[in-house]
Structure 1
Amino acid sequence: MVRSLVTGLCLAVFAAVIIGLSNLLGLDLEHVALVGAALGGVLGLVPHRPAWGKPVGFLAGFLLAWLGFALRAAWLPDSSGGRAVAAFLVVALIAVVAALSGGRLPLWSGLVGAASIVGSYESVYTSAPSQFLSDSPAAATTVLLAVGLGYLAASLVAPQGDPAAAGSRRPRRAAVGEEPTKRSTMPTNLDDLVTGAAQ
């Protein structure tokens, strides 16, 4: 409980810092401060091995969603059908990347990456689709900065592994004459639930 409170307060401070940086440096970070800090916090808090898989998966989803905007601006009609095709392709490609990585790049981190650029740029894109080349780099860099600060805050406070939980997953040695117990196949973390694997 205390750990959750401290982590949440640290993320709150970083969200305020993002807005302060926006005013100080003349950046347009205010509208992405909360979404960036929250998504960066999720990225930092959810455990995954290897550790580099989370940020790389995030960046893959981010890039694919950005390319989805490029596809909409260049070829797809600005209609519900065009948006539906782009959304389908982005999510499907994120799933393919996660599958091809063999679980090293988790699906959820790719979806978080896509959500970050869509959440920060969709309204800007909708108001001026023809300005994609000039508007999207600014939106991408601002939300990446906000997510990066949220990720940093969560990584500094949250433990990267829980030794007590890891110890509880180790099989107990059977005493002399005791029948060995069958290991549980219940998923133990978010990645296992998504992929269907058991640890």
Structure 2
Amino acid sequence: MVKSLVTGLCLAVFAAVIIGLSNLLGLDLEHVALLGAALGGVLGLVPHRPAWGKVAGFLAGFLLAWLGFALRAAVLPDSSAGRAVAAFVVVALIAVVAAVSRGRLPLWSGLVGAASIVGAYESVYTNAPSQFLTESPAAATTVLLAVGLGYLATNLLAPQSEPHASAQPDPAIDARRAERGQRGQRDDSSSTTDLDDLVKGAAQ
């Protein structure tokens, strides 16, 4: 409970810092502060081995979703059908990346990456699809900065520790080992008893 509270407070502070940086540096970060901090926190909190895999998966999903906007701007009609085709292509490609990487780039992190750029840029794109080349880089940069600060909050100020999967105890294996140990003790006891009987018989 304390760990969750500390992590949440770290994220809250970083969300406020993002808005402060927006005002100080003249960046348009205010509307993505909470989105970026929350998604960066999710990326940092969910355990995955190797750790770089979830970051790479996030970036892959982010890039594919950005290319989805490019596809909509260049080829697809600005309609429900066009948006549906773009969404299908993006999610399908994220799934392919996760499958090809054999889980090293998890599906969930790719979806988080896609959600970050969509959440930051969808409304801007809807208002001005023709401005994709000028508006999308700014949206991508701002949300990546916000996500990076959220990820930093959960990994630097509230670092996560996760034992390797091979180091985690397996109750079934422990039970079999205990059973073998008990069998070995019974066999040793039986052997000792037989040896004592033989020695007594020889003495008589």
**TM-score w.r.t. structure 2 length?**
0.83
**Aligned residue in 1 for 2:161:** 160
Which of the pair has more CA radius of gyration? Answer: 2
What's the CA shift for 1:158? Answer: 3.5
Q: Amino acid of the residue matched to residue 39 of structure 2?
A: L
Q: Which has the higher helix share?
A: 2
Structure 2 gap ranges (5+): 185-204
Percent identical among aligned pairs is 81
Q: How many residues align?
A: 177
C-alpha change, 1:138 and 1:167, in structure 2 (3 Å) is: same
Deviation at 1:160, TM superposition (A): 2.9
What are the Cα deviations for residues 23-79 of structure 1, in whole angstroms up to 9, with x where unaligned? 000000000000000000000000000110010000000000000000000000000
Regions of 4+ moved over 6 Å: none
Q: Which residue of 2 aligns with 1:71?
A: 71
Q: 1:48 to 1:178 in 2, by over 3 A?
A: farther
Q: Which moved more, 1:154-163 or 1:73-82?
A: 154-163
Distance of 1:58 and 1:112 partners within structure 2: 6
Match in the other structure for 1:25: 25
Equivalence for 2:182? 177
SS of match in other structure, 1:47: coil
Shift of 1:142: 0.2
The gaps in structure 1 that reach 5 residues or longer are 180-199
RMSD: 1.6
1:35-54 alignment, distance < 5 Å: 35-54=35-54
Check the 8 A contact 1:116/1:143 in 2, yes or no: yes
Within 5 Å, which residues of 2 pair with 1:42-191?
A: 42-156=42-156, 157-161=158-162, 167-169=168-170, 171-172=173-174, 173-175=177-179, 176-177=181-182
Cα separation, 2, equivalents of 1:97 and 1:10: 32
Displacement after TM superposition at 1:159 (Å): 1.6
Equivalent residue for 2:195? Answer: none
Q: Is the 8 A contact 1:28 1:142 kept in 2?
A: yes
TM-score normalised by structure 1 residue count: 0.85
Query: d(CA) in 2 for partners of 1:58 and 1:13?
Result: 23
